[in-house]
Structures are given as structure tokens and as C-alpha cells.
Amino acid sequence: MALSALLATFLCTIVLPVLLLLVALKLWDVYAVRGRDPRCPCPLPPGSMGLPFIGETLQLILQRRKFLRMKRQKYGLIYRTHLFGRPTVRVSGAENVRQILLGEHRLVSVQWPASVRTILGSDTLSNVHGLQHKNKKKAILRAFSREALELYVPVIQEEVRAAVQDWLQRESCVLVYPEMKRLMFRIAMRILLGFQPEQIRTDEQQLVEAFEEMIKNLFSLPIDVPFSGLYRGLKARNFIHSKIEENIRKKVQDSDRGSQHRDALQQLIDSSRQSGEDFSLQAIKESATELLFGGHETTASTATSLVMFLGLNPEVVKRLRQELKEKEEQGLDLLSLDVQGLEQLKFAGCVIKETLRINPPVPGGFRVALKTFQLNGFQIPEGWNVIYSICDTHEVADLFPDREDFRPERFLAEPPADACRFQYIPFGGGSRMCVGKEFAKVLLKVFLVEVVSRCRWTLLNGPPTMKTGPTVYPVDNLPTKFSSCLD
């Protein structure tokens, strides 16, 4: 009798829940792939849909690059999954990505996860479509024109030089990644949003902490309850908006008095007024927050990767110094750079390109299928999310032999005429290519000139482990000892 009771208890407490879980998982898998379009003869991409409702979101958030690499190795360049509450197809490879990026408004449309849209806002450049996207992009591009970049270079050089001087004076090591985020944040606040240096000094600590909290929770489950990731992200976003609103109101007042500003935020304000629509303070705040994210988070990631790769490859640093010496002898003034002078630094540009190849700061982009279409023998059902992968596409590109090696000189040669241009896409592609790519190139090249011409450095932990969240960064923050190379 006791044995029967024990067996019944075992069945009820262990076997039955396991069976129910297995049945639930099977039902979920059947339900999740119900979206297959019977009108299309092609099968769904291979893959798995993960846990009920949650899908594989937690694995992605916790493992990031490791999870994505494992999925690609198991299923190939096109596979299905379930992320952020939606059935999703992840796409890699130049030809596959080309069809996605050039299929904007025809096959796919931009659609970031609900948490991103909620935190950044629906009126941002990355979320609007059609004429609204075209007008907003046009306004922002004016702030990244060559004329505007010429005005930005002295400010960038001033901020980078001050940061480098601080690193050289420290007895202890420098945690490079946090320092880069602060440096790029200050530059973005001044150049993109028109904040004055004294404003930044007053609010910098609070703004940096708020931005960290917002970015950390940008990709989270779309559940807005106290203490959830989305709740914390929105709270941080609201603080950032309050500070930006103060600056917007000041700019509007100054504009009414005839004062002229030359930053991206002013371009957005002017464009909003000239469109004939009602001035939307909320829309401007959302766009400014997006500019701040795009203008400092990605450049901080790449500048950190530059320090890392150059610290691991001293022969590249030697070649950079040789290029700077040659250009100085030809008349380039390193103490007062301009865009034309920066364009002469060809090898420095190759170092930045190679860094972006191996460690693109943004791993990919989000789209939604407007209709069912075929991609390399698989069907992409209408309404499913589509993620195109930048990092995976770089990793499998045939254009780059010895892909694991850091070899900037590979970019000195012209690519073969038949090479697909979508094998290298650090700034995305198509109509939604990054609007700030020229600004990023100028900023990173100024940073490279200042660091290489003034510093030697040693990575105290050697090659770091890299993670993505949402941009690429070293998990140990890259502790580094800087010393002057002028002594």
C-alpha cells in the first residue's frame, strides 16, 4: 500500500509535470509555426521557437553573441526563432541581407521590438516611414554635411585631447569602456544637442547614469510593471527627456531672437517649424534621445575596440605613427585638424574599417515582413519579424580571407569588381543606412590621431571577452595603462 502511494506521489509530482511540460512545448511549437503561408510552396526556415510565449528571448539577452553563433552554426544563414514576443527569422550572408535591405517598403518595413519603440518613441527616425522618414532624414543629414563636420572637428579634438591628458596623468589603470562612454557622451551632447560645457558638467553624472539604465533595458520583455526592465528604462528615459526639454525651450527662445545654432537638434526644430505642422515637443525629445544614443553609444563601442585591437597589434600602431609622421612632413598640422587633413590619413581609415569589420557596434537591424516572400528557398511569412545580422554577415563574407586576423591593409586594395557590396555593412544599407556614418568616421579618426600620436598603452588583462548589450563591449571594461610616447 505504501509502495503504491509512493508511486502515485512520484507520478503526480515528477512524471506528470514533465509530461505536461513536454506537451506544452510541442503545442507551443505547433502554434508558433502556424503562421506558415500555405500559398507559398517553400518551407519555413529551420530552427526552434523556445519556451511558450517567452520564446528564446532570455537566451538571447543572457548569452547574446554566443547564442547567435550557436544558432547560425546549427541552422545556417537563415533560421527561425521566437524573440520579444514575435516569431522571427534571422538572416545572414551578403546576398540574403541585400534582398532584405533593398526590399524596404516592398518586402519588409522597419519594426524594432515593442520595448525599443516604447522607450525611444514612435516618432524617431528608426521608427517612422515614408515621407515622414524622408523629411526627418533630410533634416538630420544637414547636421552631418561636410560644412557642419568642419565646425565639429575642433570641438571633438578639444574633448579627446582633454580625456587623453587625464588618462596620462592617472597612476592607476583606466577602464577604457566607461571612459569612452563618458567622452563620447560629452561630444554628442555638445555637437548633436548643442549643450554648453558648463551644462554638461552640471548634469553629466546623472545623465550618464540615466542613459546607462535606459540602454540596459532597451531590449526587454514588453511588460510595464514596477521594477520590470521596461519600467526602469522608461523612468530613465523620462529623466533624459526632462533635461533635453530644457535645452529645446532655450533654443526656441534663442531662435525667436534671431540666434543661430549649428547642431542636429536645431536642425530638427527648424525642420519641424518649416513643415507647417504643429510643433511637437515630444517628437523632438524622442528624436534628440535617438541621436544621443546613435551618436555616442556606437562610437564609444568602436573607440574601445580600436584601443583593444591596437593594444594587441603593436605593428599596426607603428605603421599609423609612420603615416602621421609622413603627413606632418608634408604639412599636415596634427594640432589643428580639419576634414581635408583627416581624409589624407588613408591607413588610419583602414584601421577604423577593419575594427568595424570584426566588431561592428550594432549587430543588426529589425524588419517586419509586409507580405509572404521567398528567400534562398525558404518562405518568410507575412507579419513575421526579420532580423538581418551585420556581425554574422561579416564573419561569413568571402571577401575577407583570414577573417579572424586584424589586417587593416586589406582595405588599401580596391575590392574585386564582382564583390557584393553587402559583404561589409557596418552602417547598414539601403534607404536606412546610418545617417551619422560620416560624423562617426571623422570622430573616430580624430580620436585615433590623438591617442596614437600621444600615447603608449598596455592592456592589463590581454584580449577581453566581448559581449553585446545592445552594442559590443568588453566584459572587463578593458583595464589599460596609458603612458606618454613624447617623453
Residues 6+ apart with CB under 8 A from 393: 92, 93, 94, 97, 422, 423, 425
End-to-end CA distance of the chain: 88
Q: Please tell me whether residue 45 adopts helix, strand or coil conformation.
A: coil
Say how far apart CA 33 and CA 56 lie, in whole Å. Answer: 14
Separation of CA 281 from chain center? 26
- Are the CB atoms for 120 and 286 separated by under 8 Å? yes
- Are the CB atoms for 355 and 305 separated by under 8 Å? yes
Q: Please tell me whether residue 297 adopts helix, strand or coil conformation.
A: helix
Say how far apart CA 293 and CA 298 lie, in whole Å. Answer: 8
- Are the CB atoms for 439 and 350 separated by under 8 Å? no
Question: What is the amino acid identity at position 31?
Answer: Y
- Are the CB atoms for 81 and 90 separated by under 8 Å? yes
> Using N-to-C axis directions, what is the helix angle for 146-169 and 176-191, rounded to 10°?
140
- Are the CB atoms for 474 and 70 separated by under 8 Å? no
Q: Please tell me whether residue 2 adopts helix, strand or coil conformation.
A: helix
Say how far apart CA 163 and CA 169 lie, in whole Å. Answer: 10
Say how far apart CA 346 and CA 95 lie, in whole Å. Answer: 29
Q: For residue 455, say whether it is annotated as part of any ligand binding site.
A: no
Say how far apart CA 76 and CA 92 lie, in whole Å. Answer: 9
Q: List 86's β-bridge partners, or say none.
A: 83
- Are the CB atoms for 206 and 242 separated by under 8 Å? no
How many C-beta atoms surround the C-beta of residue 287 within 10 A? Answer: 28
Continuous segment of H or E residues that includes residue 346? helix 346-358
Which residues sit in the known binding site for heme? 434
Which residues sit in the known binding site? 434
